[in-house]
Structure formats: structure tokens, C-alpha cells
Amino acid sequence: MSEQLRSFFGCGLDDDRTFDLNDYGDSIPRWCVGCGDHGVLSAVKRMMRDQRLLPERTVFVSGIGCSSRFPHYLDTYGFHGIHGRALPIATGVKLSRPDLDVFVVTGDGDCCSIGAGHWLHATRYNIDMTVLLLDNAIYGLTKNQTSPTTPEGFETNTQPHGTYLPALNPLSTALGVTNASFVAQTADWVPAHLLATLKAAYEHVGFSFVRILQRCPKFSAPVFSEQARTPDLHELLFHSDGITVPSLDKIYKHRLEHDPSDLDRARSLAEDTERTRLGIFFKDATRPCYNAIRHLPTYTAAQNIERLNRELDRYAV
């Protein structure tokens, strides 16, 4: 949350506490060895530490899938929802408690299939939250079914002769939605870039959508194995208003200056998949945020109980 919004909502700008990584959770995740989710979790904790997020004012909401176990491994508030419904839950949290930092962690099946309708409208609403799409191109938790982002021809349990359709492009989809305000892509195997992207997404006021290319060593290892081993397959987008990670310049030689305010070029770059592009594709902080327009009334705990009882009494038989 920006300092301006923190000041408006009276949240802890004057809180002088500092945190280490364990303050945000020290439990051992139950993900497979080599799963990219481990790297994402580590980067999220580092971002929270660096930004001094208050655990009691931070909420992680998830749906269903391997990535959606995220709230279990963080000592913040969390809500492990149902399949595809993380975004409407997070919307309710943010509208009811605009003082909270709200994050959504979702997978390619959770977001792009059953949750696709919610994804499109949440993008249009542009509510101030950070959304992490952990895209491993497979249904991993339910053991190897085709997801919307599975590459064409990839063999799965549900399509053993190879997937029939071209993969959905989450970047192009997000960039095509009215009122989109922040769209970025990063990868779990480039931790410095991942951290920088998370910080930029958090600092943006609006709906920050970050697609994280995430390896699944069990069911979709071939999808990203070559990219992870070959820096020359990547192209880093950089700009003074984007992400610049100087420590990566010697490793990732292909760099492209891209102004993230240029929506047409962002769409063109997202469609061209010759190289794996990492960076901020689009950013516009002037887009209207629904939570700044639609303020919900606030009630005390006693008032909420009274309202709940009154509502339940309407259905008494």
C-alpha cells in the first residue's frame, strides 16, 4: 500500500518494528523437492521484510491447487478458498478492510479456467491488491491434467496423445481487459528479477497482476526446463518506470527498453513468444480503482452481530 493510502487509512506508518524472514512464517512447505513454489515463497517473504509489511495487516487469499497452499506457510492472515474463487473473496476483504495489504495466490487452472470470469472482472475493477499467478502449465495437485496454459501437444493424463489447442496467454488476456493497470511477468528461476517484480507490484496502487513462470518437476518439467538452463532464451524488459536489475546484465544479454505506459506495444510484446520476456509489460497508475470509488460502511463488532442476527431472523420458520 502506498504511503498516501496508509496515511489516509491510519495504518502503521509510525510503526518502527523491523522483521526477519521467520517473522512471516517458518513452517516447512509440503511441496515437492524442486517445485518453483519454494522460490516464490522465499521471494514473497523477502519482499514483505524489505517493505516492512505488518503481519497483522497482511492477508493472503488463495483458491485450490499446489500454489494455493501459500496461506498455510505464512504467519499473516489467510483464507484458503474454493476453486477459482480467490478473487471475489479478496475483493470482499479489501472493500471491507481497505487498510489491509491484500495478496492473491492462484494457479493457472484456478485462475485461467474455473476462475476466469472472476479474473476478468477483478482486472476491470482494478481493486488495490497484488495477484500472483503461479503458472506451471499443468494441474499439479490433481496429478497431471491439461490446464488452459498447457502447451499444444503436451501429453497429460486427460489428453494422453497431446493437448489439442494452443495455450492461453495470460499476459495477452490481462492486457485485453478494460481498465487493466499493471501486468508483469517473471520466473521462479530468476530470483533477483522475481523479487524486484514483487516489489514493483506491491508498490503499484491498483490491481497488480504478476504471471510467475513456475516449474513443476513432477508433471511439467519439460515446459520450462530449457528456459531455466538457457539465459539467451530470455529478454528482460527495462525502463526507468519499470524494472531494472543490474546484477542480471552479465547473465541475460538480451535486454529491451520498453515504456510500460505503451499499451499497444505491451500487447505486441506479449503476443510475440519467440523469447521469454520478463518485466513490466504495462503500468498505469491513473486507472480508477473500485475500492477508492465504492466505500463500504464500517461497523463495530457488536453492530455486525446485531446485523447478522437481524438478517438470520428474516429466514426464521
Can you tell me the distance from the alpha carbon of 209 to that of 105, in angstroms, rounded to the nearest whole number? 10
Q: Residue 1: is its pLDDT beyond 60? A: no
> Residue 10 pLDDT > 50, yes or no?
no
Contact 127, 91 (CB under 8 A): yes
> pLDDT, tens digit, for every residue of 132-183?
999 999 999 999 999 999 999 999 999 999 999 999 999 999 999 999 999 9
Q: Does domain 3-289 have CATH number 3.90.1170.50?
A: no
The C-alpha torsion from 142 through 148 and 151 to 155, rounded to 10°, is 40
DSSP structural state of residue 145: B
| Cα–Cα distance for residue pair 104/36, rounded to 1 Å | 17
User: What are the residue ranges spanned by the domains of the chain?
Assistant: 3-289
User: How far is it, in rounded angstroms, from Cα 241 to Cα 27?
Assistant: 36
CA 187 to CA 203: how far, in whole Å?
A: 19
287: how many CB neighbours lie within 10 A of its CB? 16
- Write the CA distances from 279 to 184, 204, 206, 258, 260, integer angstroms: 6, 14, 18, 9, 9
User: pTM for the full model?
Assistant: 0.90
CB 280 within 8 A of CB 197: yes
Dihedrals phi, psi of 291, to nearest 5 degrees: -70, -15
In this structure, which long-range contacts are made by residues 150-158, counting pairs with CB atoms below 8 Å and at least 24 apart in sequence? 150/220, 150/223, 151/223, 154/220, 154/222, 154/223, 156/219
Question: What whole-number distance in Å separates Cα of residue 89 and Cα of residue 272?
Answer: 34
* CA atoms in the 13 A half-sphere facing the CB of 131: 38
- Number of neighbouring beta carbons within 10 Å of residue 49: 16
36 close to 208: Cβ distance less than 8 angstroms: no
CB contact set of 70 (below 8 Å; sequence gap of 6+)? 37, 41, 44, 60, 62, 78, 105
The Cα–Cα gap between 170 and 166 comes to: 12
pLDDT band at 14 (very low <50, low <70, confident <90, very high): low
| pLDDT class of 297 with cuts at 50, 70, 90 | confident
Q: What is the pLDDT of residues 115-132, one digit of tens each?
A: 999 999 999 999 999 999
DSSP designation for 30: -
Round to whole Å and give the CA distance between 62 and 102.
11
Mean local confidence (pLDDT), 184-207: 98
pLDDT band for position 299 (cuts 50, 70, 90): confident
